[in-house]
Chain A
Amino acid sequence: MLNRQGRPTGPGETLGGEGSSAEGFATFTGHKGLELNEPLIFEIGRGDRTGVDVPEAPKVASRLGGLERKDPIGLPGLSEPEAVRHYTRLSRKNYAIDMGLFPLGSCTMKHNPRLNEKMARLPGFADIHPLQPQDTVQGALELIDTVAHWLMELTGMPAVAMSPKAGAHGELCGLLAIRAALEARGDAREVVLVPESAHGTNPATAAFCGYRVEEIPATANGRVDFEALKARLGPDVAAIMLTNPNTCGLFEPDIIRIAEAVHAVGAFFYCDGANFNAIVGKVRPGDLGIDAMHINLHKTFSTPHGGGGPGSGPVVFSEALAPFAPLPYVKKTDERFELVEHLAEGDKSFGRMVAFHGQMGMFVRAASYMMSHGADGLRQAAEDAVLNANYIMAKLKDVMTPAFEGPCMHEALFDDRFLKDTGVTTLDFAKAMIDEGYHPMTMYFPLVVHGAMLIEPTETESRASLDEFIGALGALAQAAKAGDKERFTAAPHFAPVKRLDETRAARQPVLTYKTPAEPGSVTTPVAAE
Chain B
Amino acid sequence: MRYLPHMDADRRAMLADIGVEHIDELFRDVPASALLKGPIGTLPNHATELEVERTLVRLAGRNTPASAVPFFIGCGAYKHHVPASVDHLIQRGEFLTSYTPYQPEIAQGTLQYLFEFQTQVARLTGMDVANASMYDGSTATTEAIFMARRITRRKKALISAGVHPHYVDVAKALAKVTGDELVVGTPELTTGKPGGDYEALLGQIDKTVSCVVVQNPNLFGHVADLTELAEACHANGALLVVVVTEVVSLGLMKSPGEMGADIVVGEGQSIGNGLNFGGPYLGLFACREKFVRQMPGRLCGETVDADGRRGYVLTLSTREQHIRREKATSNICTNSGLCALAFTIHLSLLGEAGLRQLAEFNHARAVQAAERLAKVPGVEVLNDAFFNEFTIRLSKPSRDVVRELGHRDILAGVALSRLYPTETALHDGVVLAVTETVTESDIEALAKGLEEVLSC
Contacts and interface: CB of A to CB of B under 8 A. Distances in A.
Interface string B35-72: 11001111111110101110111111111111110010
A127 B65 contact: yes
Top 6 A-B residue pairs of the complex, sorted by shortest distance between their CB atoms: A77-B351, A65-B385, A124-B60, A356-B278, A306-B338, A139-B62
6 contacts: A87-B95, A125-B56, A326-B173, A355-B138, A359-B280, A387-B15
Contacts of B173: 176, 326, 350-353
A305 B98 contact: yes
A165 B334 contact: yes
Interface string A117-132: 1110111111111111
A380 B3 CA distance: 11
Contacts of B395: none
A375 B45 contact: yes
A295 to B, nearest CB: 14
B139 interface: yes
A72 B334 contact: no
Interface string A50-67: 111011111111111111
Interface stretch (B174-182, B205-213, B229-237, B448-456): B174-182
Interface in B235-264: 250-255, 258
B66 A430 contact: no
Contacts of B341: 87, 306-307
Q: Per DSSP, are chain A's interface residues mostly helix, strand or loop, or mixed?
A: loop
A354 B94 contact: no
A1 interface: no
A428 interface: no
Given A166-B334, A306-B96, A354-B135, 6 more contacts: A51-B350, A117-B96, A127-B79, A138-B63, A143-B56, A305-B99
A49 B326 contact: no
B130 A92 contact: no
A118 B53 CA distance: 9
Contacts of B298: 308
Contact of B109 (A92, A311, A312, A388): A92
B277 A356 contact: yes
Interface stretch (A3-11, A197-205, A478-486): A197-205
B414 interface: yes
B137 interface: yes
Contacts, number: 731
Interface residues of B, number: 216
A52 B354 contact: yes
Nearest to B6: A384
Contact of B361 (A49, A54, A287): A54
A80 B354 CA distance: 12
Contact of B277 (A129, A306, A341, A506): A129
A127 B66 contact: yes
B292 A511 contact: yes
A76 B105 CA distance: 26
B62 A138 contact: yes
Contacts of A94: 94-95, 98, 106-110
Given A253-B29, A526-B290, A168 B129 contact: no
Contact of A204 (B31, B88, B95, B326): B326
Contact of A132 (B53, B73, B76, B311): B73
Contacts of B203: none
B290 to A, nearest CB: 7
Given A67-B385, A127-B66, A373 B99 contact: no
Contacts of B345: 83, 87
A462 interface: yes
A96 interface: yes
A497 B406 contact: no
